[in-house]
């Protein structure tokens, strides 16, 4: 997962100890795609304590497997699980220039009425906030 994460977010991957501990704590909130030889991608999502909202924390597909429907497959499975859990709203943030991810989320029904939050992750790190009502 560290390798997949680094390929997907070369400038800002999860530090190893954070990713390790997140997985330990939220093992049932991590879905991976594995072809038997290696990891093709993963998605990581966490529910708020009241159980009504879930955040997509990270979604990544390895570079040479992109564009084959794998990212959509992971997201569809996450949304299916969240619906069965009674989660009412899914939230995520995305880099405003990340057309591939934004298009994927829009086709899944996410909207971005709250727009871009300036400096969301620190100076210059703006993020588009997207939500989906389940």
Binding site for ligand COA (CB under 6 A): 8, 59-61, 66-72, 94, 98-101, 103-104, 107
Take residue 94 and report the two structure tokens written for it.
């995305």
DSSP 8-state assignment for residue 84: H
Closer CB to ligand COA, residue 46 or residue 70?
70
Residues 6+ apart with CB under 8 A from 119: 125, 126
42 pairs with which residues across the strands? 32, 60
Q: Taking the complex as a whole, how short is the minimal distance between the CB of residue 37 and ligand COA, in angstroms?
A: 18
Closer CB to ligand COA, residue 29 or residue 50?
29
Question: Cα–Cα–Cα angle for 57, 112, 4, nearest 5°?
Answer: 30
Q: Taking the complex as a whole, how short is the minimal distance between the CB of residue 131 and ligand COA, in angstroms?
A: 14
Question: Cα–Cα–Cα angle for 40, 111, 29, nearest 5°?
Answer: 40
Q: Taking the complex as a whole, how short is the minimal distance between the CB of residue 109 and ligand COA, in angstroms?
A: 12
Closer CB to ligand COA, residue 6 or residue 88?
6
Q: Taking the complex as a whole, how short is the minimal distance between the CB of residue 67 and ligand COA, in angstroms?
A: 5
Q: Nearest residue to ligand COA, using CB?
A: 71
Q: Is 119 left (phi over 0), alpha (psi -120 to 50) or beta?
A: left
Closer CB to ligand COA, residue 104 or residue 134?
104
């Amino acid at each position: 997962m560290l390798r997949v994460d680094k390929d997907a977010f070369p400038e800002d991957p999860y530090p190893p100890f954070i990713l390790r501990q997140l997985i330990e704590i939220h093992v049932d909130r991590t879905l991976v795609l594995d072809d038997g030889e290696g990891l093709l991608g993963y998605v990581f999502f966490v529910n708020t304590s009241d159980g009504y909202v879930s955040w997509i924390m990270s979604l990544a597909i390895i570079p040479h497997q992109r564009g084959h429907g794998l990212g959509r497959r992971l997201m569809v499975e996450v949304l299916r699980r969240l619906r069965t859990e009674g989660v009412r709203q899914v939230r995520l943030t995305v880099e405003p220039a990340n057309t591939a991810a934004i298009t994927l989320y829009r086709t899944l029904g996410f909207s971005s009425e709250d727009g871009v939050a300036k400096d969301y992750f620190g100076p210059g790190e703006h993020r588009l906030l997207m939500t989906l009502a389940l």
